[in-house]
Structure 1
Amino acid sequence: MTNIVILGTQWGDEGKGKIVDMLTHNVKYVVRYQGGNNAGHTLIHNNKKIILHLIPSGILHKNVFVILGNGVVISPKAMLQEINMLKKFGFYVENRIKISSSCQLILDFHIALDIARENKDIKKSIGTTLKGIGPAYEDKISRRGFMVSDLENYNNMVLKLKDITKYYNNQLKYIYKTKTIDYNIILKEINENRKMLLNMVEDIPNILEKATKKKESIIFEGAQGSLLDIDHGTYPYVTSSNTVVGGALTGSGIGIKNIDHVVGIVKSYSTRVGNGPFPTELKNKTNDYLVNKGQEYGSTTGRKRRTGWLDIVLLRRSIQLNSISSICLTKIDVLDELKKIKICIYYKNKKTKKIFSHFPILQDWNVIEPIYKILPGWQKNTYGIKSMSKLPKKAIDYINIIQKLLKIPVDIISTGPDRSHTIINYNILN
């Protein structure tokens, strides 16, 4: 039995969904512990692309139960849309989804406020997904949140919903000078999804404790990436939840002693959606190549991702924050055609000329300059390769240098989008 946390080490979009899907055949539960439908996991099933935003990736395995822990914010609309989308692919999943009664709900007024804030001053915008995630978490912290448990008593639900709608409409009307939200439309949405959500409610910490005692393996599926963590990321250009390993504990109710392994998903280069610091960002033909070859468009927003070279300095921080046991290196095949490949190994302060190898504290990101190790590209096809011995020598050198710099083993290498396009150096579930 092994309980594994699988999380992103960069700014999200590292390829977590495929790895969760690949490892899930040996587990009983897959648990999502933070975020909402601002995430996007792209899976390939029978040569068809399936994009999940809210429901955990493990749902494609018919013997697996998926859990949305208390740290997740749920959009009833998004939940229903994904359930119906999965039905079209032949997956009937409602009886395999379990949710915490403490999950906060995302409703139309959350989305309206998110959009109004981003539009008020484009220059100062964070670059959110406009899904209402931030306002929903704000409600939680302010103790006015509308939770799944509020659906149980209908009369109390109606009164609370009226109060929250009024609260948001006052902001939309008087502060942001924009359209207000019709309470009756929100109530209609709630009524359409109320029974579905209540039927999914379970005592999640109790389920996880029983599974652990029965030695049934659990995967905890992270959303976004460690550098977007509300506490430890590149604030304020972060998401609204804890994306580091601590979020798996607080967002699900599992005890720390029951986590056996933490897999850090590392894209072979760096990408970021939205605004914020990005020391190794490329703005040249290499950027165009990575975007096109890697299909670097957000699965949630459709926005073109910013691209850059692999950043060892930031990866060291992620390893430190998450106690990462091993690395899964993804999208190595995207680098196949490059003549030269760079890895950022240090930062340099352009003003003081100081060189440092760890996450910058009290530093102006604008004066940070990456110092690179330049490697020759392998310029050979790695797509779909399933054995380490069949990789080009220079690709193996690239992997070995990453292991040496990070002092963490690369146990899994993804060479393409399909579940089978994977090299496994060590069976994590053993």
Structure 2
Amino acid sequence: MREHVIVVDLGYGDAGKGTVVDWLCAQEPVRAVVRFNGGGQAAHNVVLPDGRHHTFAQFGSGTLRGVPTHLSRFMVVDPPALAAEAAHLGELGVPDPFGLLTVDRDALLATPYHVAAGRARELARAADRHGSCGMGVGETMAYALAHPGLAPTVGDCENPARLTRKLHALRETLDVTGPPVEDCVAAYRAFAERVILVDSSFMTALLRRRPVIFEGAQGVLLDEWHGFHPHTTWSTTTFANALALLDGSGAVRLGVLRTYTPRHGPGPLVTEDPTIEVAEAHNGTGPWQGPFRVGHFDAVAHRYALAVAGGADALALTHLDAPVSQMCVSYDIGELPVGAAGDLDGQARLTDRLRTARPRYAGGVVDWPAAVTEALGVPVFLGSSGPTAADKAVFSSVITHERV
């Protein structure tokens, strides 16, 4: 824990990044948790030994332990959702949640207009829905790409006149209804007065005060460029954004997996098995994402995730207490090829192949850490058999990294 650590999900999300970050923050003082992708659609569940539970979306998963959060320039920031999250954290005993928060001025701002446009787009797809979370994150990213310089940012919250112009242009372009622009400006101005807004130099200074935990959102198999298009997110879910923020500083790359492979909503899940019976206290069918689905541990898909993410130094394996014993070790179509970043047509063709792929299983798994280490070629550092930090066990005493 003298090193920075990047925590990334090597599946479709929901592997337990929040509980792993909470455990890391419980070991010894951590300077900050940095969020480096996604936005208000994240759902990282943390349960403390005394039973307090919070689903983290934008705040870092070390907040219940008093660890500050930094929302980096790669985040899509949703101030109303942040306010709701801060209110719940206050109810759980965090004295001043906003006092633990710093936000990069260059982070994109999600608005009710993005939410309305994104939901309308998903509804129009009818039976071909992509699996949106309905939080407007994808619409925010898409608008910023199509209208560079016009997309609202967190820094605009300090300049009501500029924010007003941008919001009027945004609402007109997206052609959606929503609250009056003036009401949004007032709310965002109040947000800017409650949190500390910073520029890029803050990150440089923060990294000198190690260790820092980088908490990713969603999963590599949903990555905007390497996921199974079109059932992906408008976000880079690999280690890439965190490495860019590190700017040459070293960090341990920690991949998180379950002993079975879950997925929310539509899209390929080669090992899906509706007969798997596992307890899901914090997952279910969502109005936008759709049903929570489970499959047997998919070593083929997770090897692909490792390949597109550039590898990992160690793994955290959660749900060791789950009554599962099957591991998919191969597909009848072979290993998954790594295409060029940005080739969405190629990713769509890969998705089509996955729809007909058939899994091949090894014998029943008894020792999950050993089996996963062998199947993926990366050591399991941490195991988890429950939701709290007390339910974690270290399997490898040392993890190392290559400086990049």
Give the TM-score normalised by the residue count of structure 2: 0.88
Per-residue CA deviations over 1:191-223 (Å, capped at 9, x if unaligned) read: 124233255344354233223334x21100000
- Give the C-alpha shift of residue 13 in structure 1: 0.2
Query: What residue number does 1:277 align with?
Result: 268
- 2:232 counterpart of 1:238: yes
1:332 is displaced (CA, Å) by: 1.4
1:27-426 superposed matches below 5 A: 27-45=30-48, 46-62=50-66, 64-91=67-94, 92-142=96-146, 143=148, 144-169=150-175, 172=176, 180-182=177-179, 184=180, 186-203=181-198, 205-214=200-209, 216-250=210-244, 253-255=245-247, 257-283=248-274, 285-286=275-276, 289-290=277-278, 292=279, 296-297=283-284, 303-322=290-309, 323-335=311-323, 341-349=325-333, 356-359=334-337, 362-363=349-350, 364-375=353-364, 394=366, 396=367, 398-426=368-396
Q: Distance in 2 between matches of 1:414 and 1:302?
A: 26
Q: Which amino acid aligns with 2:263?
A: R
Q: Is the 8 A contact 2:158 2:192 kept in 1?
A: no
Distance 1:21 1:119 in 2: 36
Distance (whole Å) between structure 2 residues aligned to residue 294 and residue 333 of structure 1: 14
C-alpha distance 68-133 of structure 1, shift in aligned 2 (>3 A) = same
Q: Is the 8 A contact 1:53 1:300 kept in 2?
A: no
**TM-score computed with the length of structure 1 as normaliser:** 0.83
Residue 278 of structure 1 aligns to which amino acid in structure 2?
Answer: L
Q: State the alpha-carbon separation in 2 of the partners of residues 107 and 48 from structure 1.
A: 30
Q: Is the 8 A contact 2:110 2:140 kept in 1?
A: yes
1:386 matched residue in structure 2: none
Is the Cα contact below 8 Å between 2:106 and 2:199 reproduced in 1?
A: no
Q: Deviations over 1:27-61 (max 9, x none)?
A: 10110011011110111122122111111112112
The equivalent of 1:18 in structure 2 is 19
Residues 223 and 235 in structure 2, CA contact (< 8 A), matched pair in contact too: yes
Identity %: 23
Q: Cα distance, 1:324 vs. partner?
A: 0.4
Question: Partner of 1:390 in structure 2?
Answer: none
Q: Which residues of structure 2 form unaligned runs of 5+?
A: 340-348
Distance 1:300 1:420 in 2: 33
| Structure 1 residue 294, shift from structure 2 partner | 6.6
The offset of 1:118, in angstroms, is 1.4
- CA distance in structure 2 between the aligned counterparts of 1:299 and 1:22, rounded to whole angstroms: 28
Structure 1 range deviating more: 140-149 or 414-423: 140-149
Distance 1:359 1:345, change over 3 A: farther
Q: Decide whether the 8 Å contact of 1:37 with 1:54 is kept in 2.
A: yes
Other structure's SS at 2:270 match: coil
User: Over the residues paired in the alignment, what is the CA RMSD in angstroms?
Assistant: 2.2
Change (3 A) 1:204 1:41: farther
Q: SS state of the match for residue 279, structure 1?
A: coil
Equivalenced residues, count: 381
Within 1, Cα distance between the matches of 2:399 and 2:338?
35
- Structure 1 gaps of 5+ residues are 173-179, 350-355, 377-393
Do the aligned partners of 2:151 and 2:166 also contact (CA within 8 Å) in 1? no
CA separation of 1:136/1:375 partners in 2, compared to 1, >3 Å: closer, same or farther? Answer: same
SS of match in other structure, 1:11? coil
Name the SS of the counterpart of 2:54 in structure 1.
Answer: strand
CA drift at 1:235: 1.2
State the alpha-carbon separation in 2 of the partners of residues 217 and 365 from structure 1. 40
Q: State the distance in 1 between where 2:371 and 2:396 align.
A: 18
Cα distance in 2 for residues equivalent to 1:295 and 1:212: 33
- Do 2:316 and 2:381's aligned partners in 1 also have CA atoms closer than 8 Å? yes
Aligned-pair CA distance for 1:140 = 1.7
Distance, in Å, in 2 between the alignment partners of 1:424 and 1:299 is 34
What is the distance in 2 between the residues matched to 1:121 and 1:313? 30
Give the direction of change, closer, same or farther, for the CA distance of 1:138–1:302 in structure 2 (3 Å limit): closer
CA contact (8 A) 1:211 1:217 kept: no
Secondary structure class of the residue paired with 1:308 = strand
